[in-house]
Chain A
């Protein structure tokens, strides 16, 4: 079968490696959704590259039958940047965690987003260090008791999407390991966005931080505590019973009915960075947690601009290498 005629099924993206995540880990669900999405998008396996750092989530590349690079702690964005600059045509996905992306690799994450390298960042946020067996992470809540915080954590946690927007990310979105369809929609939107797509995935670590997101994402309360965003649609949740209104420069939850309707709610505009900033800051219990694409606004990707400069320079003709070596002024010794 020639390369052109191939079609890819989900199983084509499954590698032969035995998956070594703990049974019941949220990572399995994310892997399954990603493999489904790769097939839906028909990304040729040879053009797909998963780059990761260190941590449980960073084992991801071993389980996808594509090109993969399991690098060092926190540095996946830098490795991916070099790869994309050298090979802009590849589809590069970064698998990372809250410690990898926001603690040891915070600097690289910030600069990747600022530069808008065309990659997808999947940040598995379980609010704990799993692979090192249970220390608090930069997204752990204050007061959290872990092995390294027996008296409770006193570190203020990052809000990853607010961090990303602060780095001028051009795409920020959120989903949850157990959300299937919505997660796939987010991953596809991330793929189609030209530039750095930053996706926070709430993920359960059933060994060291079991139930970290239960109060938000459990089936029974999900609709009450999550705000599913749709571009151009009013922000309503709880089965249409409540909505979000902007009062002054702050959002507020309003009860619909009794004189207030969806028309009184703010309309989601993905392209509005100011609205994105409000959404990125909205957190339970004061607000429902926004899910889906919070902000998306295309701007040129780093590798495209770099290659445009190269092509523009090359269009003027390639200099003779011997002349370059000789330099401007030479003298002859007979």
Chain B
């Protein structure tokens, strides 16, 4: 028996060809890790092409997971374990592997022809370039072939099961049960693939156990998380569930109009399965029809939802303006990706903030909120429906590719503890006006067609205050522009919370940078630096104490995956000199990058 060493925190990355099943391998490892009780965070990273030419750098797909015995927020800066299934995967990922790290290589493809495809001139397994790592070489393809011998499988099909062999090795290495994956394989595959995958998984595990491949095996104790019932959840899943619960809490039907777009499509897939809950989904002919159908549904008394990514939101712009003018509830989810134009469809970015807050013709304010973690997408989704139906306005929800596909443990809420916010449709004609307003929220009444006596017409032309009739009156237009702005500005949002040390340096973020910033701030504080973190969920309107918080610090920095969009808004709104810290590489911030920014800012202060 090998000694079992206890670790607190591990980062492991699986990398291979797009067709090698690395996403399956990663998500299975994640699921098993979740059930083992670790805290974790994942980062799937795959190319936009479904099957780029095999063996090339363009086709490399990766899945990183970090798991730990304590609470943590990011999938880790750099892996200490790398599984590389071919030369291209090795070349694309080796620079990230920590010195001294463990590299497990599938040797089958390490031949001259494959080196060429991967742009290598020498064999990295022999040229000395891997000297600083512990290299474990396994011909996984050959081993898998032996394991599945006797099953009626073609060469390609055998090849497709080798990811389970790799997974078996990984499970041995981290003392994991095979059970959860075995159960998944049994429910997912038919024979002979079921048997083949099970054999490959067990063979990988046995191979690692029998051969002297590794110097040790490891275990990561259960994490000390807040008591509760937990599940593994990805951002798009949490968001879909949140929308269902939000509609339930509002007491209205959920209608989704959507057009497939990466990385938002999974929300459409998931909600399409909820027919038994009365959810109506409509795959429209384009992005414009998707949002227009949602507006039509909202006019009919459902909550209209549309889900998209940056280019799709650009197409929906005019229709969002219609929802602003007609003051109908509408929720638009933008799962941001790298832009502009088609940009980096499978990579993450936060570059649609200005588009969300300002990107429409005319004075067209909407509520904008952003999720900070995969599980937080649930809370944000419920909140978006609450705001849309309470204030009769469009709400834009910003998440991004990093949250959408990333996963973490989720302390599943008790639904009975989430307050309801039931919609009251207007049914009485007494003193009613289509554009009359609730004195507190400034919301106009929501009337379902089919209600006798309240027949009325709405549309995109400016409305006369109260009656809602067409009006080109100059003073009325100005009044209505102000009213629409006041309504959004008056949405009640909680105050901005400050975490950490007062006065010196505030790191401000929004959305998915939460994990990296919080970890960076914690790390800096553990090294004696005085620094604090404030994170925005509500981006329009912003918390009432925003300016006060920013002004209470000597210095404010704003890490963002764009060229400084939040810092621009903060500077304009508060006149505080917020300094952007930008990264636009299609990748999330590393904790070390946040730490460096903190140290740089503080040394700049000291120098003054």
Q: Which residues of A contact B (CB under 8 A)?
A: 3, 15, 17, 44-47, 49, 51-52, 54, 61-62, 65-72, 75, 77-87, 89-90, 107-108, 110-111, 306, 309-310, 312-314, 316-319, 321-322, 324-327, 329-334
Contacts and interface: CB of A to CB of B under 8 A. Distances in A.
Interface string B430-457: 0000000000000000001111111111
A327 B240 CA distance: 13
B289 A108 contact: yes
A107 B290 CA distance: 12
Nearest to B223: A333
Contacts of B298: 82
Contacts of A79: 292-293, 295-296, 299
B469 interface: yes
Given A69-B459, A333-B227, A49 B34 contact: no
B458 interface: yes
A104 to B, nearest CB: 10
Contact of B255 (A15, A51, A86): A86
B418 to A, nearest CB: 10
B470 A78 contact: no
Contacts of B469: 17
Interface string B117-158: 000000000000000000000000000000000000000000
A85 B275 contact: no
Contacts of A81: 282, 284, 289, 293, 296
B603 interface: no
B466 interface: no
6 interchain residue pairs of minimum CB distance: A70-B459, A82-B296, A82-B293, A78-B292, A68-B457, A78-B289
Contacts of B244: 321, 324
Contacts of B275: 309-310, 312-314
Contacts of A312: 275
Contacts of B222: 333
B461 A330 contact: no
Interface residues of B, number: 75
Contacts of A110: 285
11 contacts: A3-B452, A69-B296, A69-B459, A70-B459, A71-B295, A72-B460, A85-B296, A86-B297, A89-B450, A325-B245, A333-B227
Interface string B280-294: 101011101110111
Given A108-B285, A325-B245, A330 B412 contact: yes
A168 B37 CA distance: 56
B276 interface: yes
Contacts of B301: 86-87
A116 to B, nearest CB: 14
A272 B447 CA distance: 42
Contacts of A54: 460
A70 B297 contact: no
Given A62-B470, A81-B282, A332-B230, 5 more contacts: A78-B290, A82-B292, A108-B288, A332-B228, A332-B229
Nearest to B254: A86
Nearest to A104: B288
Interface of B: 31, 34-35, 37, 180, 222-223, 225-233, 241, 244-245, 248, 253, 255, 257, 274-278, 280, 282, 284-286, 288-290, 292-302, 304, 318-319, 321-322, 326, 411-416, 448-461, 469-470
Contacts of B297: 82-83, 85-86
Contacts of A326: 229, 231, 412
Contacts of A309: 275
A86 B450 contact: no
A129 to B, nearest CB: 18
A107 B285 contact: yes
A322 B230 CA distance: 13
B289 A107 contact: yes
Given A82-B292, A316-B276, A45 B230 contact: no
Contacts of B241: 324-325
A306 B255 CA distance: 12
A69 B456 CA distance: 9
Given A87-B449, A330-B230, A332-B229, A67 B296 contact: no
Contact of B248 (A85, A313, A321, A327): A321
A265 to B, nearest CB: 40
A322 B241 CA distance: 10
Nearest to A327: B231
Contacts of A322: 414-416
Given A61-B459, A87-B450, A78 B277 contact: no
Given A79-B293, A111-B285, A325-B245, A69 B457 contact: yes
Contacts of A75: 288-289, 292, 319
A86 B280 contact: yes
B245 A90 contact: no
Contacts of A3: 452
Contacts of B286: 107
B450 A47 contact: yes
B183 to A, nearest CB: 9
A67 B448 CA distance: 9
Given A49-B449, A67-B449, A333-B37, A15 B457 contact: yes
Given A72-B460, A78-B289, A86-B253, A329 B277 contact: no
Nearest to A47: B450
Nearest to B291: A78
A71 B241 CA distance: 30
Interface centre among B222, B226, B228, B289 (most CB of A within 10 A): B289
Contacts of B229: 326, 330-332
Contacts of A80: 296
A124 B180 CA distance: 62
B283 to A, nearest CB: 10
Quick one: which of A49, A54, A65, A67 has the most chain B CB within 10 A? A67
B232 A329 contact: yes
Among A49, A68, A75, max chain B CB count under 10 A is at A75
Nearest to B416: A322
B56 to A, nearest CB: 36
Given A17-B469, A72-B460, A329-B35, A45 B455 contact: yes
A306 to B, nearest CB: 6
A325 B412 contact: yes
A54 B322 CA distance: 12
A310 B459 CA distance: 31
Contacts of B226: 333
A88 to B, nearest CB: 10
B300 A70 contact: no
